[in-house]
Amino acid sequence: MTSWNWAYLTDFACFKPTYLPEDNPADFSFFFDTSLRRVCYVAPERFLTSGETKSGGVTDEMDIFSLGCVIAELSLEGTPLFSLSQMFKFRKGEYDPIRLYVDKIEDNEIKVLDIQPTGY
């Protein structure tokens, strides 16, 4: 975040896979969990169920989801919205970070940014 409230989110690792198997966290751990915190800001539609296949690259919507997670963590003073297991529960509608965390953000301009699941 800059002093002008501009956010720069970069990932120079073009070798990372777009889609990850939901039933094998090894790829997530290798490519996306370098901090070993088990924090997951990979968009939910990037995880594939067993036997599911998709092709294509990362979309703007996937990047915006990740950016929203980063902004929320910054606004929550370091509390992440999702662990990997919570992301899987979020995909199934069994986990609600809005009620648990986002509602606690004091800045209303940040709070109104919504992370509703779509497209999977």
d(CA 117, CA 61): 11
Tens-digit pLDDT profile for the chain (120 aa)?
A: 788 877 776 767 778 999 999 999 999 999 998 888 889 999 999 999 988 999 999 998 998 888 888 888 888 888 999 999 999 999 999 999 988 888 888 888 777 765 555 554
d(CA 12, CA 105): 30
d(CA 49, CA 82): 19
d(CA 119, CA 61): 10
Is the pTM of the predicted complex or chain greater than 0.85? no
10 is written with which tokens? Answer: 């970069």
Q: In the chain, what are the domain boundaries?
A: 20-111
